Amino acid sequence: MTQLGPDLPGDYAAALTTLKSLVREAQQRAQRVVNTAMIELYWNIGQTILERQVTEPWGSRVLDRLARDLRTEFPHMKGFSRSNLYNMRAFAAAWNGPEPIVRTPSGQLSWSHNVALLSKLDDHELRSWYASRAAQHGWSVAVLEHQILTRLHTRSGAAPNNLEARLPGEGTDLAREVAKDPLVLDFLGLTEDAQEHAIEEAMTLRMAQTLAEFGPGFAFVGRQYHLDVDGDDFFVDLLLYHVPSDRYVVVELKAGKFKPEHLGQLNFYVAAVNDILRLPRQAPTVGILVCGSKNDRTVRYALDGSAQPLTVTSYTYEALPVDEQATLPSPAAITAALEHDPASPLDA
């Protein structure tokens, strides 16, 4: 922290804070401009290669030479490798509509994001779907790849819920944002027989990825969040906040198969959070039960009897390919990290 001398004006600290913000904003704008210019350059290079290949023998030998010549002419610029020229060609071929590339969602993403979209997806509509959401929600490349590999487009808004019945007029749209099924928790590095406490600890350790898996706009409030109900103590597994809809979200974890009585506890917690924590300006609290497996018909019967807006989702550790699973941290590594420094910063 900057140490301020006694001879400085009283408003100096406030002015310094304002100027720091202005500098950071200018840096971010400059980075966006540079990134946009690079994306446009790479698309133009790729388009030039495509156009030449229509009428001229621009094969691998010519691209090898082109890569060498560009590196020689611009030695301080990275990105002119042979493989990246092929990426540029694929990029131009994938985004070849009438709209300039800089006005597309892909134009708002980094080159690494675009390479991930090209390498992980063959369908143009899906590329557009994931590019749009990555740009809108600020996903990192790792989060984007995770969402693609776990087929987010098939999971959004799929979990059984009673949101529209309990929150008429907003429940349907809210379900699209919070009712994902299943949650793919491969990144926790746990086995199928992990108990609630282990899942909860691992989620906390990898909170950034956990929030990204729940969906965009979630913020972490607390783990084992204490509720004092007239002297009786209760503890919510995870308390989140959904910023876009301005509401608390109570998350309860059950390692085994769904049982109707699970919703009784969650129903109580949602009611308590509404009464104890929720401010008048805030939207009604929603509950999410995360369980190991479920019978959807049993879930729907149980939801019909719940007074609070709830959704029930399962989780899986097996949605990623085997080679991707092999790169995950082991349960022992997560346990060791927790025991080494329980107060360590959350993993970003």
Q: Among candidates 222, 246, 256, which has minimal Cα distance to 236?
A: 222
The CA-atom distances, in angstroms, between 170 and each of 159, 177, 221 are 16, 11, 23
Determine the pLDDT at residue 329: 37
CB 257 within 8 A of CB 250: no
- Supply the pLDDT for residue 140: 81
| pLDDT per position as a tens digit, 199-239 | 666 666 666 777 777 788 888 888 889 999 999 999 998 89
pTM (2 decimals)? 0.55
Residue 285 CA: distances (Å) to CA of 164, 282, 307: 14, 8, 12
- The per-residue pLDDT for 347 is 37
Spans in the chain with pLDDT lower than 70: 1-6, 156-158, 181-207, 316-348
Taking the C-alpha atoms of residue 199 and residue 191, their distance in angstroms, rounded to an integer, is: 10
Distance CA(130)–CA(148), nearest Å, equals 8
